Structure 1
Amino acid sequence: MERAAVFDVDGTLVDTNHLHVVTWWEAFRQAGHHVPMHAVHRAIGLGSTDLIAHVLGEDRDGDQDSALSAAHKALYGQYFDRLPAFAHAGALLRRLHGDGRRVVLATSASGAELSALRRALDADEAITATASADDVEEGKPAPEPVEHALELAGVPAERAVFVGDTVWDMRAGRRAGVRCVALLCGGIARADLEEAGAQAVYADPAALLTGLEDSPLA
């Protein structure tokens, strides 16, 4: 039976979390909201509406959500031509593909942003499918993005491993019934990732590639 390796992208394979923090912070500032960057960082990995609610609270003026999201998208879009993949991220995907695993991306990115991330990875030949924000009703930490990735891979949860960098990733993977591997390169503490459901933690894609044979992906 086939096996799958499902990957989050931002902060896991591509070094974009802090770009998202700064551009969301600026979008909030332009709208008159002065929020600390650490609060934004803790929300990275959520979809736009959930991120805004997490930072500003459920009692915010929801009429601003679309404008805030559009401002962030415009600010972040300035970096599309130079998004940096983490070292050996592409090599990790190619190794897993070469070993017979179906590699699927599960990301809240879509459209031009997703295309930019895939260009940064430069590993399209290793990617079986992508579950983007356009494909699901609820984003992480709901299990739907991971469940959809499993559908695209054509494998059951017990034959898959999900790799991410945030507590939202770990909670989504746990709720979908897959084993979860966390990477520290997104800037979230090991203890928080383990508490959220990570069964193994590695520094970054290069460390996971080096330790692949002893990892849950083996």
Structure 2
Amino acid sequence: MADTAIFDVDGTLVDTNYQHALAWFRALRRYDITRPIWRLHRGIGMGGDQFVAAVAGREVEEAHGDDLRAAWQEEFEQLIGEIQPFAGAHELLADVKERGFRLVLASSGKTEHVEAFLDLIDGRSLADAWTTSDDVQASKPEPDLVSAALAKVEGASGVMVGDSIYDAQAAAKVDVPMLGVRTGGFSVGELLEAGVLQVFDSLVAFRTSLDGTPLAKPRR
């Protein structure tokens, strides 16, 4: 039985993926590198330390990686005020918390970004803990984030909730099952193929189906 619910933040609880893609597009254009935004979107969900090489190649990473990540941060921070939570995010977290699970909000984002997102969903009032880039050495699809989330609350058995195949890959590496929502733009088939147990179209749909998932009310 799981005792800890680990919720990805970016793209799962708050609607950030397209702002991330646009910020990366603009950062790359500073170096006269153009990648179609739809291809950049397909990489959103992995961390910046993995992203540049994945979408632009190892040579670009070696030549400009750190500068591109700095440029991405500048561009993203111009867009952060537009970001909104997904409908039902706070209510879903509240329901899971009321069921007795430890609740960890997992992000490898910059501390100031994570704090802004927590405010959008009133996450501090519910979460037992949350993570930032300070807690991981390598980002998704490496498993550091999932392991760090469990360690924050000394959890013995976790369930991950995420929106991307990279969430699923990270969770699988430490044998943590994952439930998926389509808020990141990945298809049901892609998420299932990546190892996700169940996929829901929205947080609201997920909340109404909680009792059919590993986050069901504990039997007494």
For normalisation by structure 1, the TM-score amounts to 0.94
**Post-superposition offset of 1:58:** 1.6
Q: Which residue of 2 is the match for residue 196 of structure 1?
A: 194
1:185 Cα deviation from its structure 2 partner: 1.0
C-alpha contact (below 8 Å) 2:108/2:135 kept by paired residues: no
1:215 and 2:202 correspond:
no
The corresponding residue for 2:31 is 31
**Residue in 1 aligned with 2:71?**
71
Deviation at 1:216, TM superposition (A): 2.2
| 2:51 counterpart residue number | 51
Would you say the 8 A contact 1:12–1:204 is kept in 2?
no
Cα distance between partner residues in 1 of 2:165 and 2:80: 25
CA contact (8 A) 2:47 2:139 kept: yes
CA distance in 2, matches of 1:74, 1:59: 23
Q: 1:36-82, CA deviations, whole angstroms, 9 ceiling, x for partnerless residues?
A: 11211111111112101101112325231122111111111123334
User: After the TM superposition, which residues 150-161 of structure 1 pair with which residues of structure 2 at under 5 Å, given as runs?
Assistant: 150-156=150-156, 159-161=157-159
Is residue 161 of structure 2 the alignment partner of residue 181 of structure 1? Answer: no
Could you give the per-residue CA deviations for residues 168-203 of structure 1, whole angstroms, max 9, x where no partner exists?
Answer: 100111111111101101101111111111001011
Q: Deviations over 1:3-29 (max 9, x none)?
A: 110011111000110111111111111
Q: TM-score, with normalisation over the residues of structure 2?
A: 0.93
Contact 2:22-2:37 within 8 A present in 1 as well: yes
Structure 2: stretches of 5+ with no match in the other structure: none
Query: In the comparison of the two structures, how many residue pairs are matched?
Result: 216
d(CA) in 2 for partners of 1:70, 1:6: 28
| Structure 2 residue aligned with 1:126 | 126
Q: Decide whether the 8 Å contact of 2:178 with 2:197 is kept in 1.
A: yes
Instruction: Give the aligned partner of residue 94 of structure 1.
Output: 94
Counterpart AA for 2:75? L
Q: In structure 2, what residue type is equivalent to 1:150? A: L
Amino acid at match of 2:86: F
* 1:13–1:86 Cα contact (<8 Å) kept: yes
RMSD over equivalenced CA pairs, Å: 1.4
Query: Percent identical across equivalent pairs?
Result: 34
Residue 2 of structure 1 deviates from its aligned partner by 7.3
Q: Which amino acid aligns with 1:19?
A: Q
Cα 1:183–1:2 change in 2 (3 A) is closer
